[in-house]
Amino acid sequence: MITRHFLRLTLPLCSLLFGAQVGAADGDKPLLQEGKKTLFQRVLTTPGCKLGNSAGDDKGALQPAFSSFYVYQKEEVNGENWIKVGPDSYGKTIGWLPKSCTVDWKMQLTLAFTNPANRDSLLFFKERKNLEDILSAPDPVSVLAPLRAKMKRDGHSDEVLAQEPEYFVDLQKQFYLLPILSGEEVMTEDGFYTRLLNVASVSKAEADKKQEDDVNQLKGFKASVVFVIDSTISMGPYIERTKEAVNKVYDKIKQENLQDQVKFGLVSYRSNNKVVPGLEYRTKIYADPNTVKDGEDFLKQVADLKEAKVSSSLYDEDAYAGVLSAIDEIDWSPYGARYMVLITDAGAIDGDNTLSGTGLDSKQLRLEAGNQGIAIYTLHLKTPGGKNNHTKAENQYRDLSNFDSTQSNLYLSVDAGSLKVFGQQVDALAAAITEQVKSAYMGDPAIGSALYSKGDGKTLTKEQKLLEDTALIGHAMQLAYLGKKNDTQAPLVFEAWISDRDLIKQNIPTTDVRVLLTKGQLSDLSDVVNQILQAANEGMISPEKMFEQLRTVAATMGADPNQLKQKDNHKINELGVMGEYLADLPYRSDVLNLDEETWKSWDGLSQEKFIRTLSSKLRHYQKYNADVDRWVELAKESDPRDHVYPVPLEMMP
């Protein structure tokens, strides 16, 4: 039996920034959603939808699928319902659409598939009941197994409209729209919270093309391993041991004739060299994997890498600058397998510290690495001299080293900074990565989601877990590589029901959430949150009032970002909480996941930490704005101001 789980919030109602009371710029306002006082009606077009000059005009211009419009008027002509639509909420209308070729879109959220390496392919069900029957079953396998067997045997099932492709569809490389039309959070029979989502999906349909078999395609599968090394005082022995490990692996890959398949690079980092000029540099690329020929060449390129001769101004070093340098300054595109190995004995300078070279924190860097398909391992040397720093550093690096595609954590600690143990782990890691590439090159299968069962219930040593996680990640990277090579599209389906968790392994997500923001909306978000933070820091508003205002901003961005800043009405003291924006959102950002009681129970330091995290998100919005390659044109030849950026939900306030 499925248990519905609703989040009820009791919040004060202040003067309203958002919604219908504000009024459109000129002319009429869009129609309100049924039962709402502030939320406007919006629709998405389906394939084949034509925009006419009047209600009943079916000779109009064909509209791109998933064009988004506000609804201004409704009319019935010859028994068919028509809607008058406009591109925004400010009174501009452009024509009439048959209601039958649109679907209601109540929230500006879309989904992206997670990598299917350690789960079954996601199924798109025709009816909600088909999905509920599986999740409410005492043994979901008994219901799902016959269904999948029938689909495998017959190629289809009456209950299922489509299923996710076997290869990974990378939203960054092959944009697709999977908007959420409605949703509800429920508790399954196994005790997991999951969401039943009514979604729509459409992707460019292409004629079937003959594909090479997986063995031949994986012949071109290459790996890049970039070490990012702290080269401050005390790191000398570890630097030399890393060089030794890479040289040993190069000897091995030479014997296996894999010189072209596995490449190593090295980035060194220290700290702010403007404050301490003797550090010489903040980050420096010593070896680019794209230019390294072999082990001898690698050693030659890194020969000058030594530990610094002077101490930094803080115990923490700028590890995040080293990681970002490796992400942004190295061309990862030739490689299907992409690994970074961070080696350090100190914590990282937080993004809000004036000495930071990035202004970013661990979560944001993890997302940036994930956009490039890079897995970040951290070897944390817990030397005696840094014992007071160990806990903080471990928390930072555990967050940084989450590989979201497989739900793996790639953080490893080296107790007491043992050089012997460190050497064993570096050797094992480099060898494991090389073995994965060798397996792919020799044609070991990558196809088949959920092939890999982590641990089989046994307790693993650190080294065993390292090998197991590396194998799982290698599988995920092969699926991503094959998906890109085959230009794999999202399934062509319209309106279906899905679960955002694997139907059997219900702790594993099948999708993650993105909020589609235009440049103007992203700018508005930055401006309003910045005003709130400034007011909070200057003591102009109480912590409780600040929390209320942040909730309003967060909720509005999920429901209708265009309502965030209305003309002449965006001052801090005019912001208020709008419960309607909260009611139907099936997903919630960090702010929306907090309740008022918890916020008030936090001490000043906890609230301050939360505010610092929000400040670092604002700096990340600047990266989104400058990231020209990932802005998406939803409608052909649309105004560039209408292009959207799929912002991860966890980067929202």
Please state which of the ranges 450-464, 494-508, 578-592 shows the lowest mean pLDDT: 450-464
The CA angle 20-25-29, to the nearest 5 degrees, is 40
Mean pLDDT value across residues 581-601 = 70
Domain-embedded: residue 253: yes
Strand arrangement of the beta sheet that strand 180-187 belongs to: 3-4, 180-187, 193-201, 493-499, 123-125, 160-163
Domain-embedded: residue 109: no
Mean pLDDT value across residues 601-625 = 82
- Of the two residues 478 and 194, the one the predictor is more confident about is 194
Domain-embedded: residue 260: yes
Check pLDDT > 90 for residue 480. Answer: no
Element (H, E) at 237: helix 236-255
Contact 171, 160 (CB under 8 A): no
Same domain assignment for residues 357 and 428: yes
pLDDT category of residue 648 using cuts at 50, 70 and 90:
confident
Q: Any alpha helices (H) in 293-418, and if so which ranges?
A: 295-301, 319-329, 362-371, 390-400
The full 3-state SS of 18-40, as one line of letters, equals CCHHHCCCCCCCCCECCCCCCCE
Domain-embedded: residue 571: yes
Average pLDDT for the chain: 80
226-240 residue pLDDT tens: 999 999 998 999 999
Same domain assignment for residues 267 and 174: no
pLDDT of amino acid 291: 94
Domain-embedded: residue 239: yes
Query: Phi, psi (5° rounding) for residue 80?
Result: -110, 140
- Of the two residues 336 and 567, the one the predictor is more confident about is 336
Check pLDDT > 90 for residue 591. Answer: no
Q: Residue 81 burial (CB < 10 Å; 0-12/13-18/19+)?
A: middle
Domain-embedded: residue 32: no
Q: Which amino acid makes up residue 38?
A: T
Helix (H, G, I), strand (E, B) or coil at 162: strand
Same domain assignment for residues 236 and 187: no
Domain-embedded: residue 198: yes
Same domain assignment for residues 173 and 44: no
Q: Report the CATH number that the domain containing residue 84 is assigned in CATH.
A: 2.30.30
Same domain assignment for residues 495 and 556: no
Torsion sign over Cα 482, 483, 484, 488: positive
Q: Count the domains in the chain.
A: 4
Same domain assignment for residues 575 and 442: no
pLDDT of amino acid 216: 62
Same domain assignment for residues 265 and 395: yes
pLDDT of amino acid 566: 54
Domain-embedded: residue 287: yes
What percentage of the chain has pLDDT greater than the value 70? Answer: 82
90-137 residue pLDDT tens: 788 999 999 999 988 887 788 888 888 888 999 999 999 999 999 888
What number of residues does the chain have? 653
Domain span at 383 = 215-485
528-570 residue pLDDT tens: 777 777 766 765 567 677 777 777 777 777 777 777 765 333 3
Please state which of the ranges 198-212, 354-368, 400-414 shows the lowest mean pLDDT: 198-212
pLDDT of amino acid 637: 58
Same domain assignment for residues 390 and 272: yes
Q: Give the span between the Cα atoms of 375 and 474, in whole angstroms.
A: 10
Give the end of a domain, one of 83, 104, 125: 104
Same domain assignment for residues 234 and 187: no
Residue indicated by tokens 């078999």: 213
Same domain assignment for residues 315 and 386: yes
- CA atoms within a 13 Å half-sphere pointing along the CA-CB vector of 513: 24
Same domain assignment for residues 298 and 407: yes
- Of the two residues 203 and 552, the one the predictor is more confident about is 552
Query: Phi, psi (5° rounding) for residue 409?
Result: -110, 125
Residues 6+ apart with CB under 8 A from 603: none
Give the end of a domain, one of 50, 78, 104: 104
Strand segments, DSSP code E, in 384-432 are 402-403, 408-409, 411-415
pLDDT category of residue 19 using cuts at 50, 70 and 90:
very low
Check pLDDT > 80 for residue 16. Answer: no
Same domain assignment for residues 174 and 226: no
Mean pLDDT value across residues 274-283 = 96
Give the end of a domain, one of 455, 475, 509: 509
Torsion sign over Cα 350, 354, 356, 360: positive
Helix (H, G, I), strand (E, B) or coil at 88: coil
pLDDT of amino acid 40: 85
Q: Record the tokens describing residue 143, joined without a space.
A: 């219901």
